[in-house]
């Protein structure tokens, strides 16, 4: 092995949790749950990433209440019955040396859509969806996401309290399910982002208007979650660092400072989604690492750890982001769907794993032995 240690493969401590490296499996919805329950698909899906050597494996956006479902196949944690099958997954991931994180979310006015491969548009509410009842659409204001989408019912103060309590309840269940890290999903045009952005928040009470008022919902949820999430466990927050409806990077820096003050450890810097499809659904080609500058700015100006995400596909690219001090963690999404062993392959590419130790021993032992014996090409 080379002596030059890469940063990508340097362990990292956050509160009482130690990651074996800085590679994170970004939250990625599978649209394959039933009534919020994970299935064998999820077990196999998450298991691969832990076996592939990722330091941190995220669940997909897991819904804090049924009203928060985007599609009928979203994962949920709104009832105690959801806990046990999730615990089976977190236990296995930890046995494989990964740290586990759950992302909590509520779809807000984007609730009730078809799955991506069925068109992603709003559900036809005149017919049942996969045999399940429909669920109401709520949001900060009666402003629809896009033309033709349902008009959300403006949330009352009682609704706000109820949803916030459900967030806290979900955090408690995530803890019982054995997760090490929790992330509040405040991005991509979902409920928390809808409160933040002036495009979707037209309220005239203390939850709307000024930046401070628009941040209130997010901050209250985060405070509530932090209260029940143990002090030795990290809390992340995913932002859309900029959106197309008036939320700016300066606003994100202000938000990040406030979040830091109430106990958030990492800002996960994504972007967009308030009134257009997220960049992953876009047909326009973005540049490699197109969101990295957001992580860099937040890290510098809010003085908080950041996670970079968005078209980080090459090991060297990931390493350089860390070496340049642009972010502290590297989240990989679609590339790790293509290659769940991306971390192990990256370790080899960066000459950090001469003996295949980043693979499970059941695989690595054989590969190391084959390497030592060598083989003749023909
Ligand atoms: C299939 C799929 C599902 C996704 N689901 C979520 C999700 O549940 N929560 C979230 O915050 N982002 C979600 N995203 C966005 C990813 O976490 C990531 O930010 C995005 O794919 C950009 O990273 P990449 O270029 O490495 O794929 C999803 C992306 C994909 C491709």
Computed over every residue of the chain, the mean pLDDT equals 96
User: Percent of the chain, pLDDT > 90?
Assistant: 94
**Tokens encoding 251:** 């606003």
Q: Do 91 and 43 form a contact (C-beta atoms < 8 A)? A: no
User: DSSP string of 63-115?
Assistant: ESSGGG-SSTT--B-SSGGGHHHHHHHHHHHHHTT-EEEEEEE--GGG-SB--
Nearest CA to ligand 1 atom 29: 28
**Tokens encoding 51:** 């076996």
Q: What is the DSSP letter of 117?
A: G
Q: Do 354 and 368 form a contact (C-beta atoms < 8 A)? A: no
Tell me which H or E stretch contains 182: strand 181-186
Partners of 13 in the beta sheet? 18
**Residue 190 known to be catalytic:** yes
Distance (Å, rounded) from C-alpha 50 to C-alpha 358?
10
**Residue 281 pLDDT:** 60
Centre of ligand 1 to C-alpha 279, Å, is 9
Mean pLDDT value of segment 115-131: 93
Q: Which fold has domain 12-373?
A: TIM Barrel (3.20.20)
Mutate to test the pocket of ligand 1, among 24, 27, 113 (most ligand atoms within 8 A of CB): 27
Please identify, by atom number, the ligand 1 atom nearest to the C-alpha of residue 270. Answer: 19
Mutate to test the pocket of ligand 1, among 29, 68, 192, 287 (most ligand atoms within 8 A of CB): 29
Mutate to test the pocket of ligand 1, among 280, 286, 313 (most ligand atoms within 8 A of CB): 280
Distance (Å, rounded) from C-alpha 157 to C-alpha 134?
23
**Residue 219 — very low, low, confident or very high, per pLDDT cuts 50/70/90?**
very high
Please identify, by atom number, the ligand 1 atom nearest to the C-alpha of residue 332. Answer: 26
Nearest CA to ligand 1 atom 21: 333
pLDDT at 1 over 70: no
**Tokens encoding 15:** 């509160």
Centre of ligand 1 to C-alpha 87, Å, is 23
Centre of ligand 1 to C-alpha 212, Å, is 28
Q: Do 55 and 23 form a contact (C-beta atoms < 8 A)? A: yes
Residue 294: how many CB atoms within 10 A of its CB? Answer: 26
Q: Give burial (CB, 10 Å; 0-12/13-18/19+) of 1.
A: exposed
Centre of ligand 1 to C-alpha 28, Å, is 5
Please identify, by atom number, the ligand 1 atom nearest to the C-alpha of residue 185. Answer: 11
Please identify, by atom number, the ligand 1 atom nearest to the C-alpha of residue 60. Answer: 8
Residues 58-68: tens digit of each pLDDT: 999 999 999 99
Centre of ligand 1 to C-alpha 140, Å, is 24
**Residue 5 pLDDT:** 80
Pocket of ligand 1 (CB under 6 A): 26-29, 60-61, 103, 185, 187-188, 238, 270, 280, 309-312, 332-335
**Residue 3 pLDDT:** 42
Mean pLDDT value of segment 11-22: 98
Rg of the chain over Cα atoms, rounded to whole angstroms, equals: 21
Residues 89-114: tens digit of each pLDDT: 999 999 999 999 999 999 999 999 99
Please identify, by atom number, the ligand 1 atom nearest to the C-alpha of residue 238. Answer: 11
**Residue 276 pLDDT:** 72
Nearest CA to ligand 1 atom 13: 28
Distance (Å, rounded) from C-alpha 307 to C-alpha 121?
30
Centre of ligand 1 to C-alpha 281, Å, is 10
Q: Do 222 and 260 form a contact (C-beta atoms < 8 A)? A: no
**Residue 284 — very low, low, confident or very high, per pLDDT cuts 50/70/90?**
confident
Query: Which position among 31, 114, 145, 190 bears the catalytic label?
Result: 190
Please identify, by atom number, the ligand 1 atom nearest to the C-alpha of residue 291. Answer: 22
The structure's pTM equals 0.97
Between helix 83-95 and helix 157-176 the angle, nearest 10°, is 50
Q: What is the DSSP letter of 280?
A: G
Residues 174-210: tens digit of each pLDDT: 999 999 999 999 999 999 999 999 999 999 999 999 9
Q: Where are the domains of the chain?
A: 12-373
Q: Do 200 and 217 form a contact (C-beta atoms < 8 A)? A: no
């Amino acid at each position: 092995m080379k002596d030059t240690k890469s940063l990508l493969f340097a362990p990292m401590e956050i509160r009482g949790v130690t990651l074996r490296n800085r590679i994170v499996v970004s939250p990625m919805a599978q649209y394959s749950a039933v009534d919020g329950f994970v299935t064998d698909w999820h077990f196999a899906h998450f298991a691969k990433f832990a076996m592939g050597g990722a330091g941190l494996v995220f669940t997909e956006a897991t819904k804090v209440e049924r009203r928060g479902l985007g599609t009928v196949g979203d994962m949920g944690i709104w009832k105690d019955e959801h806990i046990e099958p999730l615990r089976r997954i977190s236990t296995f991931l930890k046995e494989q040396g990964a740290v586990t994180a759950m992302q909590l979310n509520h779809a807000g006015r984007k609730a009730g859509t078809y799955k991506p491969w069925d068109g992603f548009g709003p559900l036809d509410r005149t017919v049942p969806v996969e045999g399940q009842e429909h669920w109401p659409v709520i949001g900060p204001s009666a402003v629809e996401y896009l033309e033709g989408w349902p008009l959300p019912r403006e949330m009352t103060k009682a609704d706000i309290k109820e949803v916030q309590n459900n967030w806290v309840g979900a955090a408690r269940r995530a803890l019982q399910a054995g997760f090490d890290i929790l992330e509040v999903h405040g991005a991509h045009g979902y409920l928390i982002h809808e409160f933040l952005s002036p495009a979707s928040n037209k309220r005239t009470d203390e939850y709307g208007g000024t930046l401070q008022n628009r941040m209130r919902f997010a901050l209250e949820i985060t405070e509530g979650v932090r209260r029940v999430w143990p002090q030795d466990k990290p809390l992340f927050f995913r932002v859309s660092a900029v959106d197309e409806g008036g939320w700016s990077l300066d606003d994100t820096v202000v938000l990040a400072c406030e979040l830091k003050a109430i106990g958030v450890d990492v800002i996960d810097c994504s972007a967009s989604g308030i009134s257009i499809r997220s960049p992953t659904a876009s047909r326009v080609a973005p540049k490699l690492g197109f969101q990295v500058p957001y992580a860099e700015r937040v890290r510098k100006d809010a003085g908080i750890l950041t996670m970079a995400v968005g078209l980080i596909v090459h090991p060297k690219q990931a390493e350089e982001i860390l070496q340049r001090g642009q972010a502290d963690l590297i989240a990989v999404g679609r590339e790790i769907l293509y290659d769940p062993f991306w971390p192990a392959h990256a370790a080899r590419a960066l000459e950090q794993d001469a003996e295949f130790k980043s693979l499970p021993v059941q695989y690595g032992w054989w590969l190391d032995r084959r390497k030592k014996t060598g083989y003749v090409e023909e």
